Structure 1
Amino acid sequence: MCGSSFSAQALSPAKISLRAFFLGAAVSFALACPASAGTDCVMGSKVAPAELIPACSPIIDQTSNATADRTAALLVRADANARISGGLTQALRDIDRAIALDGKNAKAWRLRGDLLREAGGDLNRAAADLGKAIELDPADAEAYALRGVVYTNQRRLDRALADYDQAIKLKPDYAQAWSDRGATYYLGGDNDKAIKNFDEALRLDPERARTYSNRGAAWKKLGQYDKSVADNSEAIRLDPKQPEYFDNRGLAYAAMGEYDKAIADYDQAIRREQRANFLTNRGDSYQFKGELGAALSDYDAALKLDPNFAKTYNNRAVLYKKMSERAKALADYETALRLDPANDNAASGRRVMIAEIAKFGTEPPRALNAPSGNGPSFACATARREVEKVICADPQLGVLDRQIAETYERVLKAASKRAAGDLRKTQRDFLSLRNASFGRPGYDLKKVMQERLQKLSEMES
């Protein structure tokens, strides 16, 4: 009889989903098409699905053939249909027929359960089908692993982990199950266990690009940004076509304050596929760099792709605050909260914005990436320090300086008496350290100013 084999593949956490695909194990079918056709009805055949499907159809349609042979041919044809764009519906029909012919065929139940999930169908029904496959064949490690995928999609993480445990117990060298269990631990917030599982998956199969990227996401959560960059770089080397690997590495670079490198990676991700989260992430890095026009353009483009992406509204609201567009900032915070009522940042930002509007009203918008005056926050004509002269000579540094000063004043006005004293001290310390450190080897003035602006902006959020 023909058999079929699947494996669950964990996608990167930026998508927070798991998928499965046919491994295509080469298992021969008992009956072949007539020799004149030149194609056998074989599971895992390298023949194109368009040729394989007609090779199986005569076996299925000939009712005098043995039930086992017709069932096996239906599974092979379902496999072929599942590999054709838009063919999942026909694949499911074939599996339904196979189960009707032989209700004790464990592989058919496993295949249907997985394809129901793949088709975006009823996950409860998918779990039930995989449970039936396990009941018929309790030694089927892949059925346990696939049910773990379904449970993970349902966020039933304890059940998913129990199924992965059983799959690995039955098949200790099951690299995909180790990887998927790692992704499930990641979703549950246990990054140490996630990394241990990813390590084992990569020991068993060191060519797993997605596992490298997933491990990189776990390293980022643990603050190990250099390791995150290294893992995502390896994922890119193994599979440079996947946009999320570039996005994940960009997030690690951004966490390190390496915004130019982050933007270069987001560019690569967006070049491969336009996604709202890629554009939003790039917009964030532009915002932290002080390039407000580029940031706004990315946020607007992201919302055209996904008008219900709460994160983009929240982050654009922060940008509008920097531009003194209080009414627009408030509107974006309110939209972010409507879409995601649990968004604490949006709730806090909305409260601050309501208070600011009540206290200061609204101000006319100023030009993007342009200071309110003709230069930085201080008078360039009387600048004596070398660092101040450099800031005056560089328009981008001048914008950063004024943004720091304006954001500091807004935060100071909104702060309590005690907090205001602490804030004044940190601002004096920042300026003193900037003045003393400028010109030393390795000192990056722009990066230091960007980090100060980011810190103050976080206080506003």
Structure 2
Amino acid sequence: MCGTHFSAQISSFTKTSLRILLAGAAMSLALANPASAGTDCVMGSKAAPAELIPACAVIIDQAANPTSDRAAALLVRADAHARTSGGLTQALRDIDRAIALDGKNAKAWRLRGDLLREAGGDLNRAAADLSRAIELDPSDAEAYGLRGVVYTNQRRLDRALADYDQAIKLKPDDAQAWSDRGATYYLGGDNDKAIRNFDEALRLDPNRARTYSNRGAAWKKLGQFDKSVADNSEAIRLDPKQPEYYDNRGLAYAAMGEYDKAIADYDQAIRREQRANFLTNRGDSYQFKSELGAALSDYDAALKLDPNFAKTYNNRAVLYKKMGERAKALADYEAALRLDPANDNAASGRRTMIAEIAKFGTEPPRALNAASGNGPSFACATARREVEKVICADPDLGVLDRQIAETYARVLKTASKRSASDLRKTQRDFLTTRNTSFGRPGYDLKKVMQERLQKLNAMES
């Protein structure tokens, strides 16, 4: 709302598994344990971890085996551990041992750096490990790409782009590097370059669902909402289980004003996973549809999931303001600012609410009506549109509405037949635009009404 309605949804980068990273190692280590016959400690083996782990242990535990063989077996076992639930800690321990045995094994350093990143560990340590891998093997395109991902996660975008450049130079057909570089350009605000990189990634591999969704986010930033919908639809076709693809398409539909379609997509996302941003986005669309109860319910549910989500507080404050609940709106704006001090929309909303409370108090205003002479030109008791309810709740807007209606009537009364027809059309256009645009980011109702009154006054003078 007010500029914060939509959040950019570039999802996390596709993880590169240990099995893929280890595939080029070409390790096939003989077994000495007859009990494990039929299963070798082989890199990239399709054997289950429960079979690979004891098979590799036979080699690892024999101190007489060559150091290089034991280190290689540790890396294979690390891969097996990484494929088991809760096995990342043991995988890291095996890679630590492999590095201790063979400190010049570039793949081991690269694997540990990537595993630290995937496990949500120390990103600085992950970057250091990947730098060591590159130092040992400057031709390792994957190490550059993985370090680029770490730098992107740290928002060190220039360094990330330099690493992706090198990765692509070494391996021009690496769709993952093109896609990751596109995501980094997106985060830096260069959507045109982002799209060009996503295009190349999809040319190389047209089945990358996440790349389609990421390109859709870039199209949305450029205002190409139909292309954003198309890309996210393709992402959903390729991978219908991912909730963020539905959320991203919902954001594009909402930007087009197609709130029912947006809500249907948010429903799909929430059905797959309860997330605060999904609920907040659906609440925003309900708010734009003037379904205030549904919007409030979604905002409340979002804050139960994540009490520190600043966007939800800001958007719920907008809702409370519309409802005339000034004290609640002020409290939510202040909560948003505590969590996000740089939120300009919350800061502006807070100033507005402080001024309104000083002028009108904290109690919700009594409904005004046309008959009393102190309200707008229409009956507030029968108002159905959200914009009309807001005009009824704000004495300043109510006065503006009455002045517009009265001035319009006077100008119409004295207009010629042709100019009267034009005047009726411009008044209908004003009301239609007011009704459909109210609540959208950046729409200033009071300013629009003041401008309409000025135009009518100019016609009368």
TM-score bucket (shorter structure): 0.7 to 0.9
Query: Which amino acid in structure 2 is aligned with residue 69 of structure 1?
Result: D
**Aligned residue number for residue 31 of structure 1:** 29
1:143-222 matches, within 5 Å, as 143-222=143-222
Does residue 400 of the first structure (1) align with residue 386 of the second (2)?
Answer: yes
**Do 1:18 and 1:153's aligned partners in 2 also have CA atoms closer than 8 Å?**
no
How far the C-alpha of 1:304 sits from its partner, in A, is 0.5
TM-score normalised over the length of structure 1: 0.82
**1:59–1:273 CA distance, 2 compared to 1 (3 A):** same
Superposed, which structure 2 residues align to 1:8-87 within 5 Å? 14=9, 17-18=12-13, 20-22=15-17, 24-25=19-20, 26=23, 28-33=26-31, 34=33, 36-37=35-36, 38-87=38-87
Q: Give 1:22 deviation, angstroms.
A: 1.2
Displacement of 1:406: 3.6
**Distance of 2:51 and 2:8 partners within structure 1:** 37
Instruction: State the one-letter code of the partner of 1:216.
Output: G
Alignment of 1:36-435 (within 5 A): 36-37=35-36, 38-364=38-364, 398-400=384-386, 402-403=388-389, 405-406=391-392, 432=425, 435=428
Change (3 A) 1:57 1:95: same
Quick one: structure 1 residues 116 and 321, their matched pair in 2 at CA, closer, same or farther if it must change by over 3 Å?
Answer: same
2:4 aligned residue: none
What code does the residue aligned with 1:306 have? Answer: D
CA offset at residue 404 of structure 1? 5.5
Q: Is the 8 A contact 1:216 1:232 kept in 2?
A: yes
Distance 1:108 1:365, change over 3 A: farther
Using the TM superposition, give the Cα deviation of residue 62 of structure 1 relative to its aligned residue in structure 2, in angstroms: 1.3
Q: CA deviation at 1:410?
A: 5.2
Distance 2:335 2:122 in 1: 31
Query: CA 1:372 to 1:179, structure 2 compared with 1: closer, same or farther past 3 Å?
Result: farther
Measure, in 2, the Cα distance between the counterparts of 1:39 and 1:154. Answer: 41
**Which is further off, 187-196 or 356-365?**
356-365
> Does the residue aligned with 2:438 lie in a helix, a strand or coil?
helix
Q: Alpha-carbon deviation of 1:156?
A: 0.5
Q: Distance in 2 between matches of 1:260 and 1:318?
A: 21
Q: Residues 15 and 303 of structure 1: is their aligned pair in 2 closer, same or farther, counting only changes over 3 Å? A: farther
Which letter does structure 1 place at the counterpart of 2:147? R
- Aligned CA distance change for structure 1 residues 250 and 372 (closer, same or farther; 3 Å): farther
Aligned equivalents of 1:36, 1:64: Cα separation in 2 = 20
Task: Mark the runs of 5 or more structure 1 residues left unpaired by the alignment.
Answer: 1-11, 381-391, 415-419, 439-444
Quote the Cα distance in structure 2 between the aligned partners of 1:455 and 1:161. Answer: 32
Q: Which digits, 9 at most, give the CA deviation of each residue in 1:94-128, with x for residues without a partner? A: 00000000000000000001111112211111111
Whole-Å separation in 1 of the counterparts to 2:391 and 2:100: 73
Counterpart-to-counterpart distance in 2, 1:362 and 1:431? 39
Match of 1:311, as an amino acid? K
CA distance in structure 2 between the aligned counterparts of 1:236 and 1:291, rounded to whole angstroms: 28
Higher relative contact order (CA 8 A, sep 6+): 2
Note the alpha carbon deviations across 1:224-250, whole angstroms, 9 max, x for none. Answer: 000000000000000000000000000
Report Cα offsets for 1:282-307 as digits up to 9, x if no partner: 00000000000000000000000100
What is the one-letter code of the residue matched to 1:161?
L
Query: 2:438 corresponds to which residue?
Result: 452
**How many residues align structurally?**
415
Larger Rg: 2
Deviates more, 1:350-359 or 1:45-54: 45-54
Q: Output the CA distance in 1 between the equivalents of 2:296 and 2:117.
A: 37
CA spacing shift, 1:133–1:372, aligned 2, 3 Å = farther
**1:365–1:112 distance in 2 versus 1, CA, 3 Å:** farther
Indicate how the Cα distance of structure 1 residues 206 and 35 shifts in structure 2: closer, same or farther if over 3 A, else same. farther
* Structure 2 residue runs without a partner (length 5+): 1-6, 370-375, 413-421, 448-461
Q: Give the match for residue 384 of structure 1.
A: none
Partner of 1:417: none
- TM-superposed deviation, 1:42: 1.8
In 1: Cα distance, 2:10 partner to 2:276 partner: 12
Structure 2: distance between partners of 1:408 and 1:232: 41
CA distance in 1, matches of 2:441, 2:153: 36
Whether the 8 Å CA contact 2:18–2:79 is kept in 1: the answer is: no
Report the AA paired with residue 17 of structure 2. F
Query: 1:138 aligns to what SS in structure 2?
Result: coil
Root mean square deviation of aligned Cα: 3.2
Q: In structure 2, give the amino acid aligned to 1:283.
A: G
| Cα distance change, pair 97–168 in 1 and its aligned pair in 2 (3 A) | same
How many angstroms apart in 2 are the aligned matches of 1:437 and 1:320? 26
1:32 Cα offset (Å): 3.5
What is the alpha-carbon distance in structure 1 between the residues aligned to residue 277 and residue 131 of structure 2? Answer: 35
Inter-partner Cα distance in structure 1 for 2:361 and 2:101: 73
**Secondary structure of residue in 1 paired with 2:41:** coil
Distance 1:15 1:275 in 2: 15
